Chain A
């Protein structure tokens, strides 16, 4: 089955499946970055994506209007990889009624693009079937989530996208950690950080990162495009979305003893959110550790030491 790559959790993968393609979240397995075609000032994940495209065989690639870097990556890919089929989904920043209606139209256009790609338009039945399939996978995933899985395993299972197909590698926690930690930020490529945290006696609550639990919840019944638009705009939000993250962070910070913010270098949305996070942590008396991601995949020794020192203080 031909693969369609996608770069963000706001892409309704149900439609990709309905069109007979296999959706694949692009989280490059190599830390090699393209420093030439994108400015050094752009996030390392995007540069790794651009570099990784040389070795990828994709039927198409779906972008999201998620950030300045992503928009420029979309331009660079069209310019420097003209033979690759690409699409950009214009996700609104608001999940209110206007936003949902706008996104429904955008999703409709996306389904037409997918139809053109396979040479036959998508039927409503195909879309409904794909929604059911994905909902079944969601159910299986949420069942595992209830059993307190290891955070690092969870992240690895989600690398291919959400809802995941294979959960066999997810191990459960044997006992709770001593220090409950909130891990928040954008893309956490170095899943070893979560293993290290848990190894040192920390207990990671649901990882609030783009490569973690930011996938859409159940898609409800009803007109499929509208249902998809609602489900994807009401999912755990990215910092790009209008004013709803603050409350969620406040609640999450209350439930933990320490906070770790993992933010890739030059990721504006989360670098600005850091100011809010600092304020919340200060107000609630929670320590905050900010780690800057460089898309290294592994966990550099310096970061390990910082996490160790951070946890030592609060154990």
Chain B
């Protein structure tokens, strides 16, 4: 295993692995998935080459900013999700939990534990923003001290007015200058503008994807939306690879929509999945829903919330985008989003996945539930953990899902499918 850990930080490993893995996954004839794997090999390979500085960021810090700096972005939370996908989180979470409490987010505990395995690309700088959870500031601050790497924090206010935008913009300008100085980069602002332009182009394709997914039957599984699609939107926005990925995804979904083909053989109910994640380790949730004809028609995480048009000034553009985040600020933003999704995707039921340690999302689960139930839509709060398989209770989860299915059947018993 030590050899493998060491290999993960070698550029040659990724150079050799990339064509092999891409060839392997291409057998599934899922071009977007192949592009995701290719992207991962590329970004991790670039990070291990160390020709360009590596910047660690959190998921909600605009990644296009890092591409615009001319650096390689690395997202520890997403890497933890990938580790969970391979069911390898137990060891790192155990190590992470000895430093952090078991009550904090398991994605961060996993990332903290992974430091000891020395598999993560060493950062030259850490940038995080305080949106949308407290962990993003605290975790990266701890990391910065442990690793002896500078940490720049973008303090995102709760409010979304002009003053808040100006406060964010001023900080972004400062962070851009400070990052260039710390990383000894001469990148002009034009590079940032170019990256934002690619990001805007990608966002417009993502909007098309979201629109296509309104089709009945659901053309694309939400479980995949919450894995590699969300991964690409957090990690690749602002890069050419990201744009290619979303174009391929749009084309794939478009074909299915034209053929009126759903991702399930028989779609009985359409549900909306709330929260940005799902459990990534092996578990029967998705297969249970699939078997029962319950399609995850859409997931909160992939909603294209970015405002259009935005200003020409890149910092203004980013400040506007950050302020528009529906998960920041009062819960009304999220309520409006959920109501829109319920309408647009003709939703029969809503599942709120309450990830252990995620106060920002689970804290609002009751209020969201009230809103959904008022519309006569069945609502399920599904407690669990996205990364820690030991914090997942299969029996309880399946019982809840069974009961939810019964409620769906009862509520929509006269519905024609």
Q: Which residues of A contact B (CB under 8 A)?
A: 36-39, 41-43, 65, 67-69, 71-76, 78-79, 88, 90, 92-94, 98-99, 102, 105-106, 239-240, 242-243, 246, 263, 265-266, 268-269, 271-276, 278-279
Instruction: Say whether A268 contacts B359, CB under 8 Å.
Output: yes
Q: Find B138's partner among A39, A90, A268 (CB 8 Å cutoff).
A: A268
CA distance A276 to B140 in the complex (A): 12
Instruction: Say whether A266 contacts B359, CB under 8 Å.
Output: yes
Instruction: Say whether A272 contacts B357, CB under 8 Å.
Output: no
Instruction: Say whether A79 contacts B367, CB under 8 Å.
Output: yes
CA distance A98 to B137 in the complex (A): 18
Nearest B-chain residue to A239, judged by Cβ: B138
Measured between beta carbons, the chain A residues less than 8 angstroms from B20 are none
Annotate B66-80 by CB proximity to A: 1 below 8 A, 0 otherwise: 000000000000000
Q: How many residues of B contact A (CB 8 A)?
A: 44
Instruction: Say whether B145 contacts A276, CB under 8 Å.
Output: yes
CA distance A43 to B360 in the complex (A): 12
In angstroms, how far is the closest chain B Cβ from the Cβ of A184?
Answer: 15
Nearest A-chain residue to B328, judged by Cβ: A71
Instruction: Say whether B135 contacts A272, CB under 8 Å.
Output: yes
CA distance A68 to B153 in the complex (A): 17
Tell me if B283 is interfacial: C-beta within 8 Å of chain A: no
Measured between beta carbons, the chain A residues less than 8 angstroms from B146 are 279
16 interchain pairs, CB-CB under 8 A: A41-B354, A41-B356, A41-B362, A42-B362, A68-B133, A72-B360, A76-B366, A90-B164, A102-B167, A242-B153, A243-B153, A268-B135, A269-B138, A272-B134, A272-B139, A279-B145
CA distance A265 to B133 in the complex (A): 17
Looking at B5-13, B41-49, B97-105, the stretch in contact with chain A turns out to be B97-105
CA distance A102 to B159 in the complex (A): 11
Nearest A-chain residue to B104, judged by Cβ: A271
Given known contacts A75-B330, A240-B134, is B157 in contact with A271 (CB within 8 Å)?
A: no
Nearest A-chain residue to B367, judged by Cβ: A79
CA distance A114 to B330 in the complex (A): 20
Tell me if B251 is interfacial: C-beta within 8 Å of chain A: no
Instruction: Say whether A272 contacts B364, CB under 8 Å.
Output: no
Q: Find A273's partner among B138, B163, B171 (CB 8 Å cutoff).
A: B138
Having A39-B362, A73-B363, one finds 12 other A-B pairs with CB under 8 Å, namely A42-B362, A75-B330, A90-B164, A98-B170, A239-B138, A242-B137, A268-B104, A268-B359, A272-B100, A272-B135, A276-B142, A279-B145
* Majority secondary structure, A binding face: helix
Nearest A-chain residue to B359, judged by Cβ: A68
In angstroms, how far is the closest chain A Cβ from the Cβ of B221?
Answer: 27
Tell me if B331 is interfacial: C-beta within 8 Å of chain A: yes
In angstroms, how far is the closest chain A Cβ from the Cβ of B336?
Answer: 13
Among B166-214, those with CB < 8 Å from A are 167, 170-171
Q: Which residues of B contact A (CB under 8 A)?
A: 99-101, 103-104, 112, 130, 133-135, 137-139, 141-142, 145-146, 151, 153, 155, 157-159, 163-164, 167, 170-171, 330-331, 354, 356-360, 362-367, 370, 381
CA distance A242 to B129 in the complex (A): 11
Measured between beta carbons, the chain A residues less than 8 angstroms from B101 are 263, 271, 274
Q: Find B99's partner among A78, A79, A105, A278 (CB 8 Å cutoff).
A: A278
CA distance A240 to B363 in the complex (A): 18
Instruction: Say whether B100 contacts A271, CB under 8 Å.
Output: yes
Measured between beta carbons, the chain A residues less than 8 angstroms from B357 are 41
Nearest A-chain residue to B151, judged by Cβ: A243
Instruction: Say whether A275 contacts B100, CB under 8 Å.
Output: yes
In angstroms, how far is the closest chain A Cβ from the Cβ of B178?
Answer: 13
Q: Find B167's partner among A37, A92, A263, A265 (CB 8 Å cutoff).
A: A92
Given known contacts A39-B362, A98-B170, A265-B103, is B367 in contact with A76 (CB within 8 Å)?
A: yes
Point out which of B112, B145, B151 has the most chain A C-beta atoms below 10 A from its C-beta.
B145
CA distance A39 to B101 in the complex (A): 19
In angstroms, how far is the closest chain A Cβ from the Cβ of B148?
Answer: 12
Instruction: Say whether B354 contacts A39, CB under 8 Å.
Output: yes
In angstroms, how far is the closest chain B Cβ from the Cβ of A87?
Answer: 12
Nearest B-chain residue to A46, judged by Cβ: B363
Give the 10 A-B CB pairs with smallest separation, nearest first: A72-B363, A272-B138, A68-B359, A75-B331, A65-B158, A39-B362, A68-B360, A271-B101, A90-B158, A93-B155
Nearest B-chain residue to A92, judged by Cβ: B155
CA distance A263 to B370 in the complex (A): 31
In angstroms, how far is the closest chain B Cβ from the Cβ of A262?
Answer: 13
In angstroms, how far is the closest chain B Cβ from the Cβ of A108?
Answer: 10
In angstroms, how far is the closest chain B Cβ from the Cβ of A205?
Answer: 24
